[in-house]
Amino acid sequence: MVYLDNSATTKIYTEAYEEMLPYLLAEYGNPSSKYYEKANNSKVAIELSRERVSKLLGCSIEEVIFTSGSTESNNMIIKGVADFYHHKGKHIITSAAEHPSVLETCEFLVEKGFDVTFLPTDCFGRIDPVQLEREITAETILVSLMWGNNELGSLNDMNAISEVCKKRNVFLHTDATQVIGKLEVDLEDYPGITFLSCSAHKFHGPKGVGCAYLKQDQYGILTPITPLFHGGGQEGNIRSGTLAVHNIVGMGKAASITNDNLQYAIKSLGENEIYLHDLLQTKFGESISFNSDVKDKIPGILNVQFKGVNNELLLKQLAPYVSASTGSACSASKPSHVLAAAGYTIDEIRSSIRFSLSSLTTQKELDVFKEL
Ligand code: PMP
């Protein structure tokens, strides 16, 4: 059996799991408490994780705000910017191929009176930075565009997008959930990015934890937004709630391993994607086509069309040998909005499957396709 649904979630690194355990048993102190050892130990562990995550992202330690994951970070940033800056303008730009945690948040804001532009995409789900620039007006307070697409694996041109937003002086938020650990993400190279979201379980950390990056100014002040959670004022008053110490510790360790292994991971994901591509091509020939056949993409994500075959039925048949998914909460009544935005017909969408690898996937495991 080969697990090829790593864009949905990954296996936690054993080292990350082991480092979490003490914080569920002996070190259960609340990091917001003071003076006694258990509280201090939790606080030290949180700060080590913050440092490890900041190294992975190439940002300052203070710019990392722990959350429950990308869904929360996306909500927090988009709603937080909308609320804080609505007096400056009520226009937000996003794309039609975003994750539902961005799309639904934007739809919610439309109901609250905001004007949202949903940029169209090319056949790989990527937006055109020139069109983005054309859509920015004096009313635009936020651009929210994913770095890499979770269904097709294609990459938006983040360099160009970052430059446009910097030039036009507009906040840029990027949902980087799918690219962390599969691409070099050094925020120093992207001065136009003001906010970023990520989830630990996509890079072999635990589920239910992630972070938001909020850029700080030259005085060390984080870009202000209205908090999503009000309460005890944790995380610099931006994200209240007792910190999930064990999860944050696991995220920190996973971030550290991911950082150390990044070059190997990128190479292995790329090579194994080609290996899988060629295996499928040899096995299925003309009866398949690759929806994500583009050069510049997240390594390790392959979206494949099995012509004339229903994807849900195929996934069921494959399940004893291969764990994969359609790439979205695709149901008979709701086909993938990403493939739809990329111009695929309903029939093409309903015959498409996403295979997503991790750096732990081996060619020997992929050989299961030879036996099918
Ligand atoms: N954005 C993208 C691009 C994703 O792939 C996901 C997870 N599928 C999310 C956001 C949401 O992440 P989480 O479920 O961990 O909150």
* Any ligand 1 atom below 6 A from CB of 105: no
* Any ligand 1 atom below 6 A from CB of 234: no
Going by C-beta distance under 8 Å and a sequence separation of 6 or more, which residues neighbour residue 331?
none
Could you name the CATH architecture of 14-260?
3-Layer(aba) Sandwich (3.40)
Average pLDDT for residues 251-257, to the nearest whole number?
98
* pLDDT tens string 4-38: 999 999 999 999 999 999 999 999 999 999 999 99
Average pLDDT for residues 328-354, to the nearest whole number?
85
Say if residues 7 and 356 touch (Cβ distance below 8 Å): yes
Closest CA to 225 of 163, 162, 141, 164: 141
Q: What is the Cα–Cα distance from 297 to 121, expressed in whole angstroms?
A: 15
Strand 115-119 relative to strand 171-175, pairing: unpaired
Task: Answer yes or no: is pLDDT of 287 > 80.
Answer: yes
* Any ligand 1 atom below 6 A from CB of 145: no
Average pLDDT for residues 162-189, to the nearest whole number?
98
Question: In the chain, where are the structural domains located?
Answer: 2-9+262-371, 14-260
Give one DSSP letter per residue of 260-290, joined into a string.
HHHHHHHHHHHHHHHHHHHHHHHHHGGGEEE
Q: What is the Cα–Cα distance from 206 to 264, expressed in whole angstroms?
A: 22
* 123 is a catalytic site residue: no
For residue 335, name the pLDDT band (cuts at 50, 70, 90).
confident
Q: What is the Cα–Cα distance from 166 to 172, expressed in whole angstroms?
A: 8
Sign of CA dihedral 223, 228, 230, 235: negative
Average pLDDT for residues 234-253, to the nearest whole number?
98
Q: What is the Cα–Cα distance from 16 to 167, expressed in whole angstroms?
A: 40
Q: What is the Cα–Cα distance from 73 to 199, expressed in whole angstroms?
A: 9
Q: Name the DSSP letter for residue 127.
A: -
Say if residues 193 and 58 touch (Cβ distance below 8 Å): no
* Any ligand 1 atom below 6 A from CB of 101: yes
Task: Answer yes or no: is pLDDT of 292 > 90.
Answer: no
Beta bridge partners of 148: 155
CB atoms within 10 A of CB 347: 13
Q: What is the pLDDT of residue 327?
A: 80
Active-site residue (options: 59, 198, 211, 330):
330
For residue 329, name the pLDDT band (cuts at 50, 70, 90).
low
Q: What is the Cα–Cα distance from 355 to 314, expressed in whole angstroms?
A: 13
Nearest protein CA to atom 5 of ligand 1, as residue: 150
- Reduced to 3 states (helix: H, G, I; strand: E, B; else coil), residue 41 is helix
For residue 341, name the pLDDT band (cuts at 50, 70, 90).
very high
**Please, what is the angle between helix 70-85 and helix 100-111, to 10°?**
30
The helix (run of H) or strand (run of E) holding residue 78 is: helix 70-85
For residue 333, name the pLDDT band (cuts at 50, 70, 90).
low
pTM: 0.97
CATH superfamily of 2-9+262-371: Aspartate Aminotransferase, domain 1 (3.90.1150.10)
287 alpha carbon to ligand 1 midpoint, in Å? 31
Q: What is the Cα–Cα distance from 175 to 195, expressed in whole angstroms?
A: 9
Q: What is the Cα–Cα distance from 134 to 75, expressed in whole angstroms?
A: 26
Q: What is the Cα–Cα distance from 293 to 302, expressed in whole angstroms?
A: 8
Q: Name the DSSP letter for residue 87.
A: T
ipTM of the complex: 0.99
Q: What is the Cα–Cα distance from 19 to 41, expressed in whole angstroms?
A: 13
Q: What is the pLDDT of residue 330?
A: 47
